[in-house]
Structure 1
Amino acid sequence: MAKPKTIYACQTCGAQSPKWLGRCPECDAWNSYVEETNIEAKRSLLPETISMALPLAEIQSDEGHHIPTGIEEFDRVLGGGYVPGSMILIGGDPGIGKSTIMMQAFSRIASKGKKLLYISGEESASQIKLRADRMNVSEKSFYVVAENCLERVVEQIKKLKPDVIAIDSIQTIYTNDIQSAPGTVSQVRECAAKLLMLCKGSNIACFLVGHVTKEGAIAGPKVLEHMVDAVLYFEGERGHAYRILRTMKNRFGSTNEIGVFEMTGQGLMEVKNPSDIFLAERPHASAGSVVVSSLEGSRPVLLEIQALVSSSPLANPRRTSLGIDSQRVNLLVAVLEKIVGLQLYDHDIFVNVAGGIRITEPASDLGVMAAIASSFKNKPINHTTILIGEVGLTGEVRAVMGIEARLKEAQKMGFTKAVIPSSNLKSKFSSKLEVMGVTNVEACLELL
C-alpha cells in the first residue's frame, strides 16, 4: 500500500493544494480548505472489462428507452421516465420534499413489478417505515436498507439485483478506500464514481439525493453534476405549499422542464394545471397586478407579477424583488426612468411573483415594467390582458420564443387580449385572442 499523503481540498469546488489556503484560488471561497488523507485507490468493485470500438451504425440503442415512474409531473421533468443504467441527481433545501418524491416514485414503480432498493444514510429502517405508512406505501418489492458504508451497499445491490436504487443521501455515504469524513469532496467523488460504474455495468437506474449549500448549489465537487446523466433541483418557499422540480441537465430529454407539486399531509400531490393554481387568488382591478406567460421548458405557465411603488423618505430608496432577479428589475426601472420618463428615483419599488415560483426567462420584462408603471400611476390594467415580451436597454420590445404555446395557454385560462412584440406577429400562429403588437415600451404603456 502506498504511503498516505496529506493534502488540502476545497469543500466548494474540489480544488486541491499541498498546503492550507485561506481563500481558494479556483472559486474564491474563504476558509473552505479541509485536510484530507489521500491514498492510492483500490481496484474497482467491478471486474475489469475491455471495451471494443464499434461502428456507430452497429451500436444498439434499445437501452435508451424511458420507463415511466407513474407520476406525470416527475416523468415530464425526466423526459418521459427513467432510463435503465442512468444516474439521476436530485438536490434541494432540507425539508423541501426530496425523500418524499423518491418514496412516492418508488411506490409507483414497485407496483409495476420492478424490484427496488432504497438506501438511507440519514434515517433508520423504522423511521422510513413510519413515513411509508403515512403515505400508504406497502409494496412487497420495495426493499429498504439503512447503511452508510459503500462496500456494504454494493454487497446488498449485488445480492438483491434491483432494477432501481436510491441513495439518500450521497453526502452520507463513505468508502473505506479514502480516510476522510463522509461528505468531503474526495468521499463524494469516489463514492459517486464507483456507484456510476456499478449501475452502468449492471444496467441499474440510480437516483442520488444530494444536499445543497447555503448558496443553493449541490454540496460536494462540481464534477458530481458532470458525472450524472440528469440533475434535478427542488425549489419552493417555506411559506408556500407548492414545490417546483426543475431540470438543470438531462442527457435523455430537454432541460429547463418543470414539474409542479403541492405538499400535503399525504405527500406531494401533482398540480396538473399550474396556471390555474397561481392565478386563483389574483385580484381584479388592482393597480400593480399584471399576468405574464413564462415558458418553462415546453410548458407555458401563467404567473401574476405584483408591483408596489410608494414615495420614500430615505436617501437611498429600497428596491426589493422576490421570485425574479433583482438586477434585472433594477435594469427595467432604469429604462422606465430614462426612456419613458417616470420619476422613480425617490420611490421605493417592491416586485413579487405570486405563488412562490421563480422566473428566470426575460419574456416577463414587459409585464414587470407594466406592473411598476401601473402602481406608480395607480391605474389598474385590464385583468383579461396578458403581456409577453423582452425589453432591451433602449426600450425596444424583442421577440420571444414559443409565442403560440403561450397564447394558447392564455386563451385556455380565459384571457381575451395579449400584448406581444411586433416581430412575433410575423410568425404564423392561430389565436382567438385580440393580439396587439408593440415595438417599444412607450407604445405598450399607451395601449394599456
Structure 2
Amino acid sequence: MTNLDIRHRIEARISQGEFLANMLLLVHKDSGNVQADFVERLCSIATTVRALLEGNGLLQKILYQPSTYWPEQRGKSYAFVDGGVASVDLPSAGPIGIRVGSYLVRPGDESDSRERFKIELSLVDDLYSPNGALYDDDFLDLAKLRDAARIVSELSAGLSLARQVDGDGPPDAVVLHGPLVNPVAPYGLDGFPPFGLGACRQFVGDNDWHGDDRDRQFVSLYALLLEKLRETGTPVVGAVERSVGRDPIFIRTALDGLLKAREAETLLEQIRSYGLNDAALLDVVLVEGEYVTPLAVGRQGARNKWPRFWEEKIGRYPKALTTYLKPSALVQPFRVEAFEDVRNLDSVLALILHTSRLLPSYGFPVGLDIVDKFAKVPAWLSRGVKGQHQVVLLKQALASGDPRAVSFAKRVVAAKGRDWLFRPEA
C-alpha cells in the first residue's frame, strides 16, 4: 500500500464521519486548516506504522474464498458465546439476572442437529443479599458488581463448552463476545464482596469445590477460570467489536520490539496527540483481510494502579495473544484475543473472517450476533425477575415480624423505579 493509498483511505473515512472527534482535538491548537493538517499528519503516522509492520514481516493476510472455505469445514463444529443482563429497576437493593447463551453450528451439516442453541448458565440473585448465592456482602458500585458477574458467567460458559464430553466432544473452537482477558484491578477494591460458594461451584463446574473468601473474590476466581479454560486445550478466543480505550496499547507493544525506546515514544506521542487508538489507526493501515501477527499484550494496566492486596495475583495473570483483523475495506478492524499457547489460531482467524463476511455491511462474526439476540434478556423476563424479587422481599419482611421491614417492603412493591420516597436524605 502506498502513501497515496493511505491518504485516499483517510479522506474516505473523514467523508463518512470518522475521525471527527480526533480532528476536534486539534481545533484549540490551530483552528485554521485543521482537516488538511490532520490528513497530512495521520497519513505520515499511518505510513510509518505500516512500513514498520510490513518491513518486519508482521502483516499477514487471509484470502476470502467462501466457495472453497465452507466445504472444507464440513464435519467441524464452532461455538459462539454471549451473555445478557436483566434490566431490573428497583429501589431496594441490587437485583441481578444474568443468562449466558451458546450457539453451536456445524457447517455443511444438513440434518436437524446442524445448529444448537443452549442457555449455558443462568443466575438470578440479589447483590445486596447477605444470604444470597451470588454475593455475600454489600458494595456500593453496582455497575462493577454486574460487570464482574457477567464476565465470570460468560467465561464459565466458555469453560463448560471447551471441556464438553457429551456428544461429539468439545467444539473445534469457541468464540467469546468480548475480551478473553479483562483488566481486574477495578474489581479488587476494598470491600468488593466475594461470590457465594454455591455460585462459585456453578462457575467452576465442580460441586465439591471449596474456597475461602479470598478464593471466591473476583480476582482469584477469574484467574482460576482462565487457568482451567487454558488447560482444556480447546482453541478459545475473544472478539472485541468496539475499542473504546484511548491508549494504543497494541501498537505500543509492537513498537517496543521494532524501534529504540526514544524513537518509539516519539511516534507514540504523535499517535496519542491525534487521539488515535489501535483500531482507529489500524483501520487505515490494514487492507481487507489483513491482520497483524499476534503479539502477547499485558491487559492489567500499570502496576502502580493495582490494589496492593492483589499485586502478586494480578502479576501472574496471563497475557492476551492479540491481533487486529480487518474483515473488509469499509469496516474497522476488531481485536481478537487468545491464550499464548493456543492451537490452530490461523484456522480460527480464517473462521472469524469468513463469518464476518456472511452479512453485507456487518463486519463482525455473525455467530456472535446470533447468540447475542438469543441470550439477550427481554423486557418481559426483566419484569419477571423484578416481580419475583418483590415477592421474596415481602415474604422475608413478613417473616421477620419487624413493622419497619414490612412497611419498607410494601413501599418497594408499590414503588416505580426511582420513586421519590427513596431519594437520599440531604
Give yes or no for TM over 0.5.
Answer: no
Could you say which structure has the higher helix fraction? 2
Larger gyration radius, structure 1 or structure 2: 1
TM-score by length of 1: 0.28
TM-score by length of 2: 0.29
Could you say which structure has the higher strand fraction? 1
Which has the higher relative contact order, 1 or 2, with Cα contacts under 8 A spaced 6 or more apart?
Answer: 2
